[in-house]
Amino acid sequence: MAAPPSPPQAQPQAHQANAVTLLTGDRVLVQDGQARSVQPGPGRDGMTFSAFTHSGSTYVIPADARHLVRTGQLDRRLFDVSTLIEFGYDDAHRADVPLIVSHPAGRPAPALAGARTLASIDAVAVNAGKDGATWETLTDGTATRRATDGVSRIWLDGKRQSILDQSVRQIGAPAAWDAGYTGEGVTVAVLDTGVDQTHPDLTDREVGEQNFTDAPDNVDNFGHGTHVASIVAGTGAKSDGKYRGVAWDASILDGKVLDDNGSGQESWIVAGMEWAATQGADVVNLSLGGSDTADTDPLEEAVNTLSAEHGTLFVIAAGNSGPGAESVGSPGSAEAALTVGAVDRDDTIAPFSSRGPRVGDGAIKPDITAPGVGIVAALHSAGTIGDPVVDGYTALSGTSMATPHVAGAAALLAQRHPDWTGEQLKAALSASATPNADATVFEQGAGRVEVPRAIDQALVSTPTNVSLGTVAWPHDDDEPVTRELTYRNLGDPDVVLSLAIEATGPDGSPANLFSLSATEITVPGGGTATVSVTGDTTLGNADGVYSGAVVASMGTPGEVVSRTPVAITREVESYDVTLTFLDDTGAPTPDYDALLVGLDNPTFAFPYEEDGSVTIRLPKGKYLAHNTVVTGAGENFNLVPHPGLVVDQDLDVEVDARLAEPVAVTPPAGTDLTLALGDVGYSVRTGTSGFGSALLTEDLATVATTQLADAPDGTTITGKINSQWLGADGSFYGLSWFTEGEVPTGFERTVDDGDLATLRAEFGPVTGDQTGGRSAYPLPADGDAFVFAVVTPVTLPGTRAEYVTTEDGIGWSSGLSVSAGDTQLAQFDSPLTVYEAGREYPARFNHAVFGPTLPDTELPWGFRVGDTLDVLVPLFGDGAGNTGFSVVEAASTKLYRGSELVGETPDPGAGRFADLPPEAEEYRLVTTATRPAAFDLTTSATAEWTFTSSHVDGEDPVGVALNVVRFLPELDADNSAPAGEEFALPLRLENGTGEAVTPGSITVEASFDGGDTWTALPISDLVATVTHPADATSVSLRTTAADQDGNQVTQTLIDAYRLR
């Protein structure tokens, strides 16, 4: 089952082919980020799959995993093939699926081979083989599987990253040093990529180390951990104290939880946190993270549990996903964490610094900020990270750099108060922070860490911030929300506090909806006093977030001694939407899947309740409700989408399976065909966003469809009935239709031979034992759909008869993969083509000459937006003009402006080059690639383009002048020509849309010794003539051509064709 290859994207990359085997043992083939084919695992023939794609992620969920996924017991990421590839969990990179399996507290963990205990979260980590055996162990084997006894939840053991976007005096640390506080006697755990103990600033700093990764040792081969550790506790020895860390006398526990690429599995990080806490770390620095969700994930749970059990303070980076709201990552999102954002040298919030509120409950995060822009600290011995400043030091930016400033400050405070818990350290650091008047609490928490004030802080508050939550719309009858705020006096004398609230509304203007139960309180020495903080959203004049701080001051004039962030959200106009799911008897059913996708907002939610009725709160707007109701004994799938869900009032929606009608396709009479793939679904597009769905089955009789309402204005929907059949004689029948504007209520079609176009597919030869995989996928007239196809093994060389539908302007794009075992070596794809019924067409693949091809696509193969140039050129297209990508041994793509190198990538024909000067200038793009021994034709290809480019206004890409020369000789079936004879080489100069252009100039040279020497060839009417030597075995070709505007291309193809 396969989807069409993507056109060049805004972020180009070299062609990628991935196979991803799921926990269930099912295998998904992915090309250029799109799922193309699904192969059921051993013993799972006939399995139905639900697939959908949205916002760059594609999910493929087998039917027997649906119940566990929708109830939250099975991590949905286990079926997000995009994320699995991103984490390096595809088949080319690892042979297992890493899991975290939780169990009920007090009960033994499931018996799994090789499991590692994660006691703080009542779980084990295990590497599950991809044969499906672990899936069988963890589930009960029924059609709608349940977890086996003793299994609470099955998580993907995903990856978290070091939080790197590419100081000490600013936070007042020298004042603490002068007072005698240097971190002596305090232990800080740095859980990162390891620490380079050979750096003079970090020599003799460690008191323990442990490697939790799959790297062979504890050495920091990335550099992130060394930089972080030196900000915490570096002595500055190599710089005579200039680049001294915050707590330069503190001891370091070095826990390597991130690998040599700066990423680490979640179980490694949990294990490192447990180790640090049990080793007695006072402070733990975690300059790492990943995306947060509304659930409490294993890392958040570990932070909260270990903080409570050991009194450890976990100082964690907020993340570098700003400036958008709700971008604080996990585990910084943990309640107990002291979460750190980044500021620059002027205390301005860094654009990259992640912002709150926290996902799910609107709580205040981050808690505090620290310097995180251009921070100079130790450079590890490999010396490859950041922007080196002087010998042994480099500059880096990110909340990764801000976090160790706060961890160091906590160490100084822990030296001052050795009996304090992490919670007390957090409270003092928060209460003493210095806010930026131009930033909200969701950007900065309490403000930038201020070490001198923290050291002397005698008053703290609990909680460290007052989050009053979200009050539901409408707001004319809102009840006030009140929380208690307790002040603790750490000194002996009583303290009289004057209290006030400083707050602003969504537009930044002062707000008066907060109040206090008292404006003056007395906090006794060593004691506490409590005040109530109330938010009354009836007093607000706009919907959105209201935030500020409770300011405590003392004396006359008032000296501010504590600031406690406070926030409340007036919910924007929102409504309750209740979905009730009815089975084929009209009764509510728990066997359904629902997905709500915002068409004019970012909502992406999976509501579910076991009783068949679920209510979800949604902001006013337009939504797609993607609904599937399963009936019978779990084998019948009713697709019942609602693409026109306009939420402007409370809604009750019935999703009734009885409205759906069957799908039936009858192939031409007299054919002996077997259905290899039924792909039923639809695509929705609104503006620049889209959603695609697919029910993948080997039995169309199990699928029924309908649509509950029309799509709203500005939104298009296209239904899809895609059936692919294989004949006993090896033939292929693509019987597919698209229904513009709707998902049909049932679909029935009987096909005659006269309805079909015929493709005579012919596949060229390969070397050794390479095999071919043939696929063909339909697309509607506008070319926009989420479509799968069956990938069929074919012999190379070989032929196949193919028959495809042609109604309503449907087009077909087909492909051929060349593989050695499970490794794909090359991929060829034809341009989208519309055929006529009753006609016959050639479809040739994998024939020489192989070289650059640029057929017409939605985006140019090279384009500029603003001052950024993107290129993605297929260097190994075949002689028929199909695009071609290949594995390579070595490659590079470089952009020059004049003689100056602008940038380079290690990819063949692909690169992004930013920050170009806006003026019109001449550029030279050079790409080269050498293929491995598996290829004996076009063993290497080089192309060089010269063109002029300048700034492009707006967001629409403007193509640059990339032309290619294609050679079209009449070669034999084995891609050879006769030696010792004169031979014609027809040429074609094509532009970036595959159209022939008239050359302004063109030359061709041939080499018969692999490119060592070259001979110029005569050209007449775009046909070059070459005389083949009798003793040569191959011909290499080099050509230089310019179009009428002077845009030039030079191509060199070594071993373009063979001689016999």
Show the beta-strand stretches assigned E in 728-755. 732-740, 747-750
Sorted by sequence, the CB contacts under 8 Å of residue 728 that are 6+ apart come out as 672, 673, 674
Sorted by sequence, the CB contacts under 8 Å of residue 614 that are 6+ apart come out as 578, 579, 594, 607, 608
Q: How many CA atoms lie within 13 A of 855 on its CB side?
A: 17
List Cα–Cα distances, 844 to 58, 296, 882, in angstroms.
31, 54, 9
CB atoms within 10 A of CB 680: 25
Q: Is 192 among the catalytic positions?
A: yes
d(CA 938, CA 846): 12
Give the closest residue to 224 by CA, choosing from 284, 166, 300, 157.
166
Sorted by sequence, the CB contacts under 8 Å of residue 61 that are 6+ apart come out as 49, 50, 51, 69, 76, 79
Eight-state DSSP code of residue 147:
B
Q: What is the chain's alpha carbon radius of gyration, rounded to the nearest angstrom? A: 32
**Which residue, chain included where needed, has tokens 């929300």?**
481
**Which residue, chain included where needed, has tokens 């193309």?**
36
Give the closest residue to 228 by CA, choosing from 354, 407, 444.
407
Q: Which helix (H) or strand (E) holds 422?
A: helix 422-431
Q: Which helix (H) or strand (E) holds 228?
A: helix 224-233
Angle at 95 between CA 94 and CA 100, to 5 degrees: 85
3-state SS record for 175-224: HHHHCCCCCCCCEEEEEECCCCCCCHHHCCCEEEEEECCCCCCCCCCCCH
Q: What are the tokens at 198? A: 């050979």
Q: What are the tokens at 108? A: 């033994």
Region for residue 84 given its phi and psi (left: phi exceeds 0; alpha: psi -120 to 50; beta: otherwise): alpha
Residues 581 and 625 sit within 8 Å (Cβ to Cβ)? no
Task: Name the active-site residue from 192, 478, 536, 593.
Answer: 192
Show the beta-strand stretches assigned E in 830-879. 833-834, 840-845, 862-865, 868-872
Task: Name the active-site residue from 15, 103, 224, 310.
Answer: 224
Eight-state DSSP code of residue 539:
G
Partners of residue 38 on adjacent β-strands: 28
Angle at 183 between CA 182 and CA 189, to 5 degrees: 145
Task: Name the active-site residue from 400, 940, 949, 1034.
Answer: 400
List Cα–Cα distances, 133 to 77, 128, 129, 597, in angstroms.
19, 8, 7, 34
Partners of residue 1019 on adjacent β-strands: 1024
Residues taking part in catalysis: 192, 224, 400
